Homo-oligomer: A and B are copies of this chain.
Amino acid sequence: MARGRATLKDVAERVGVHLSTVSRVLNAKPGYVVSEEVAEKIRTAARELGYKTNPFAYSLRVNRSFTIGVLIPDLTNPVFPPIIRGIERTLAKKGYIAILADSDNDPAEEERILERLKARQTDGLILATAHRADELVADCLEEGYRVVLINRSVEAAGVSSITNDDHFGIAQAVRHLASLGHRQIAHVAGPQAISTGYQRYLAFREAMQAEGLAVDDNLIAFCDAFAEKEGRRAMAQILARSRPLSAVVAANDLLALGCYDAIEAAGRRCPEEISVTGYNDMPFADKFKPPLTTVHIPLFEMGIEAAEAMLALLDTENPEPRQVRLRPELVVRGSTARAPAGI
């Protein structure tokens, strides 16, 4: 509420000057001078009256909201909270705030949310929802919005993005499994319409070859979403094909969790019979049963980077897209073990 907040006019009247003078004193722009005597009077009056600049009037005047829309595909995925925290913190340092929205992986909802955010005159958009060929992103760019993509990227160039090196990460996972003696390695792939799902799939094939291992398409299944349920379905599908396998690399942690379920449901054991790797190192990954071997990516830092990229975009008139790719790192836990003999 804060009804009846003091305005520039109020403090101007109190001091006996014009409100424009008050404005300039309080904003202290170069090129405009006012006697220190008057300035001091104005400052104390402002303090006494508890003057706070009215954000509506200010925004109306400068045509900026100092608000950034943050669009997340699934807030309940523990990967995102650290990212969001990073975003929010660094945005706050510059006087910006984050408006959070969660599309729940629904493209239609996503579009509605974007409409709302645009209607609100957000100064920029941080999107974690991008598809590889995302028209929504293209539209935003075309309309002149500042956009930075996080985690996922789009194929079209010219967008700022903060991602991790999927190829490097997957290669580490595969190498780890190979070094444990695994030769029949399955892949529970993410949605191919999303950059991470696609790149990790490509990376899996490459890494297998690099290790001199054959990739068997029967040991690959694709998921429609990065969700536990899909991971379970895909893993069950692979298991049902009755090919020998001793390990599976899942395209992310949620899928890996689904793999756990499917493996247990099939009466197999992880890691004794089947090793599992995830991706993201989401919070609590170390608490699972078994603790998940996964590829760690610096979530909090990604949030910071995204916010900084956004602030950079906001600063300049003709924004240069900035692409940051962070290095992931394998963290070995209990879901991977030596390949069982005789497989």
A residues with CB within 8 A of B: 1-3, 52, 54-57, 59-60, 63, 65, 75-76, 78, 80-82, 84-85, 88, 92, 97-102, 104, 113, 116, 118-121, 123, 143-146, 257, 260, 283-284, 287-291
Contacts and interface: CB of A to CB of B under 8 A. Distances in A.
Contacts of A118: 2
Chain A interface, DSSP helix/strand/loop, else mixed: mixed
A120 B58 CA distance: 11
Contacts of A78: 76, 78, 81, 283-284
A65 B121 CA distance: 12
B85 A75 contact: yes
Contact of A284 (B65, B99, B120, B284): B284
A280 to B, nearest CB: 13
Contacts of A56: 56, 59-60, 63, 65, 121
A257 B100 CA distance: 29
Contact of A2 (B52, B82, B143): B143
Most buried by B among A2, A56, A88, A291: A56
Contact of A1 (B59, B146, B284): B146
Contacts of A59: 56, 59
A289 B288 CA distance: 5
Most buried by B among A80, A143, A257, A284: A284
A113 B288 CA distance: 34
Nearest to A97: B99
Contacts of A60: 54, 56-57, 60
Contacts of A98: 99-100
Given A116-B97, A120-B55, A120-B97, A82 B88 contact: no
A85 B97 contact: no
A88 B65 contact: no
16 contacts: A1-B143, A2-B143, A2-B144, A3-B144, A52-B119, A78-B81, A78-B284, A85-B102, A88-B101, A92-B116, A97-B101, A98-B99, A100-B100, A287-B288, A287-B289, A288-B288
